[in-house]
């Protein structure tokens, strides 16, 4: 019996490692309750003010990009939900430049776990549940008011769309992180695509002039996250470049974006030479 290996010395499976990493982060954040509540409230407030912006515009103008308030609310809620999920897992990846500059990335690189998993779990922020909760609330409520009629196909899309959108934003965040291996000081460039993408995704795509709409559909697939699925869900006709059937393109777009993100991330890691010693 004494010969038997201590169970703690056995190699850990990836699944258990993921659970252990994320679990430890969750427990540590739950221990600072007041700060956590203020953070959570802050997130709710951000989403609230963003939506208030659209609401004020719509009470003044009546329609925005051919959509009424409940329809715009579906777009906004869906986009905020998708972005919120991605932001929770990948949102702090742009702190990577700080770690590159201070040489702390080495300590992560020598650990026997994938770097992306470590960074994602390291910065998992539960406060972002605030954005997710409000986004989900607006999405579901607005779908009800906007006259969503569920068929098996549209019900499937209603569930798939936020997840596909979260994958798209997750890939954008990862690409933004990977870019920092080249542009340490230029991390703000990426904000135009991540946060800018969120801004576009939560807005009816028809408001954008053609070049901008094309860019945020074919290069950064932001209009495919919420606007196109909303058109498909509510049976609305789409403007030029974004037909309603494009609402189903979220998953393929996410797959393409992730393929690119992995390539970029791997190239970035290989390029990294370290700054500390």
Q: Across-strand partners of 67? A: 64
Q: Is 196 helix (H, G, I), strand (E, B) or coil?
A: helix
Q: How far apart are CA 158 and CA 235, in angstroms?
A: 13
- Under the binding rule (CB under 8 A), the answer on residue 208 touching other proteins is yes
- Under the binding rule (CB under 8 A), the answer on residue 73 touching other proteins is no
- Under the binding rule (CB under 8 A), the answer on residue 53 touching other proteins is yes
How far is residue 67 from each of residues 10, 33, 180, measured CA to CA in Å? 58, 41, 38
- Under the binding rule (CB under 8 A), the answer on residue 30 touching other proteins is no
- Could you tell me the smallest distance in angstroms from the CB atom of residue 272 to other proteins? 18
What contacts 132, CB < 8 A, 6 or more positions away?
A: 81, 84, 85, 88
Query: Which of 154, 230 has the CB closer to other proteins?
Result: 230
- Under the binding rule (CB under 8 A), the answer on residue 218 touching other proteins is no
Crossing angle of helices 227-234 and 69-90, rounded to 10° = 140
- Under the binding rule (CB under 8 A), the answer on residue 155 touching other proteins is no
Query: Which of 13, 59 has the CB closer to other proteins?
Result: 59
Query: Which of 134, 157 has the CB closer to other proteins?
Result: 134
Q: How many residues bind other proteins (CB under 8 A)?
A: 46
Residue 64 φ/ψ, nearest 5 degrees: -135, 120
Q: Which residues bind other proteins (CB under 8 A)?
A: 32, 34-43, 45-46, 48-50, 52-53, 56-57, 59-65, 127, 183, 185-189, 191-192, 196, 199-200, 203-204, 206-209, 212
């Amino acid at each position: 019996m004494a010969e038997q290996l201590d169970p703690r010395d056995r190699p850990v499976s990836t699944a258990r490692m993921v659970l252990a990493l994320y679990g430890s982060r969750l427990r540590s954040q739950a221990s600072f309750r007041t700060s956590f509540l203020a953070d959570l409230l802050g997130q709710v407030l951000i989403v609230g003010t963003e939506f208030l912006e659209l609401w004020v515009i719509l009470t003044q103008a009546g329609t925005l990009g051919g959509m009424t308030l409940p329809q715009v609310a579906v777009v906004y809620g869906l986009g905020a939900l998708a972005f919120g999920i991605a932001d929770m897992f990948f949102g702090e990846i742009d702190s990577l430049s700080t770690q590159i500059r201070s040489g702390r990335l080495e300590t992560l690189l020598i650990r026997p776990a994938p770097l992306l998993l470590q960074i994602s779990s390291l910065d998992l922020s539960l406060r972002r549940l605030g954005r997710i909760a409000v986004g989900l609330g607006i999405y579901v409520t607005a779908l009800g008011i906007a006259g969503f009629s569920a068929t098996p196909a549209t019900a499937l899309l209603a569930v798939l769309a936020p997840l596909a959108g979260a994958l798209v934003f997750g890939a954008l965040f990862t690409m933004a992180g990977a870019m920092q291996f080249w542009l340490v000081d230029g991390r703000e460039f990426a904000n135009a695509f991540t946060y800018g993408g969120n801004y576009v995704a939560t807005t009816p795509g028809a408001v954008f002039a053609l070049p901008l709409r094309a860019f945020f559909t074919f290069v950064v697939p932001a209009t495919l996250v919420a606007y196109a699925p909303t058109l498909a869900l509510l049976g609305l006709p789409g403007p030029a470049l974004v037909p309603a059937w494009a609402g189903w393109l979220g998953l393929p777009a996410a797959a393409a974006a992730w393929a690119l993100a992995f390539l970029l991330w791997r190239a970035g890691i290989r390029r990294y030479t370290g700054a500390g010693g």
